[in-house]
Amino acid sequence: MTTLAPIETPKPAVQSNPKRVGVLLVNLGTPDTADAPGVRVYLKEFLSDARVIEDQGLIWKLVLNGIILRSRPRTKALDYRKIWNNEKNESPLKTITRSQADKLAAALSDRDHVVVDWAMRYGNPSIRSGIDALIAKGCDRILAVPLYPQYSASTSATVCDEVFRVLARLRNQPTLRVTPPYYEDEAYIEALAVSIETHLATLPFKPELIVASFHGMPKSYVDKGDPYQSHCIATTDALRRRLGMDGTKLLLTFQSRFGNDEWLQPYTDKTMERLAKEGVRRIAVVTPGFAADCLETLEEIAQENAEIFKHNGGEQFSAIPCLNDSDPGMDVIRTLVLRELQGWI
């Protein structure tokens, strides 16, 4: 006699989260607090990255932990306090990057399957927390957006390193894309030009020349193959063409030296000193390598370098704001993101 097995009622299919596309804007980073302990935590993470300081040997570790992290946090904390967003108790970089993400989300609001978030390579919110949040919202594809127009291993590549480290711990990884550098992208150059022209129109003086100051880098990194310097040159050349200026009216310099090694030249601070001594009295500075205003633009350029220029005979100095979350700046980010999301949305 054949026994028939009872027929089971099919179980309802498990409802999964709708598949979404995540966009993660990433900038360099910031201390959580404008005091020595907060800066110390930030600097330790930043300067322990082998992409930033390539020789992480015993000597560097002794210098970092025995000298730099004992003295530098106090002085840098004073600098951060000069620019700190006291209302939100955070650095301007964090305020602006959050706003960039919010405005991008609003611009993409007609695509309800796209989720936008933001993160910092060093400090908080971390890249790990950003990716985890996107996955929790059902994102099975993520576009990482390093907010660096010019590529360098110490900025763009280290963002990718951290993204890959986060994904390496996951069994079920989302598909990943990373936006390329946009150092001579037409939308970016146009936005820079418009921001410069708009700012100059508000000044009570006419600058004799403009200095384009980029973050510096040890020359040895370029000698080893980093394309950063060539990208900075390409940006400046494209900006000169757009503004109708030559190399005497739009200068290229590099700021933010650290340590005793030779860095990319000409140096911004030395150029400010030289120009003032040569008789230049009115100047404006733009920082095309920064997508958002931060310590290096608001304190180092707008305050420290302005003082150098005036101390040596200069009279009028203006720091041109970064693109930030302005309409031209958001046009750049939106254009870049929509281009790289093709096929996903």
Q: Which residues are part of a known binding site for Fe(2+)?
A: 215, 296
Q: What is the DSSP letter of 230?
A: H
Number of helical H runs and strand E runs in the chain: 13, 8
Q: Residue 288: is the preceding peptide bond cis (ω within 30°)? A: no
Burial label for 59, CB within 10 Å (0-12, 13-18, 19+), is exposed
Instruction: Judge whether 179 and 340 are in contact, CB under 8 Å.
Output: yes
Distance CA 171, CA 169 (A): 7
Q: Known binding site: residues?
A: 215, 296
Give the strands of the sheet with 175-178, arranged side by side.
114-123, 20-30, 139-146, 175-178
Nearest to 219, CA basis, from 160, 262, 248 = 262
Contact call for residues 49 and 158 (beta carbons, < 8 A): yes
Return the amino acid letter for 229.
Q
Cis peptide before 6 (omega within 30 of 0): no
Instruction: Give CA–CA dist 216/203, Å, rounded.
Output: 28
Helix (H, G, I), strand (E, B) or coil at 125: coil
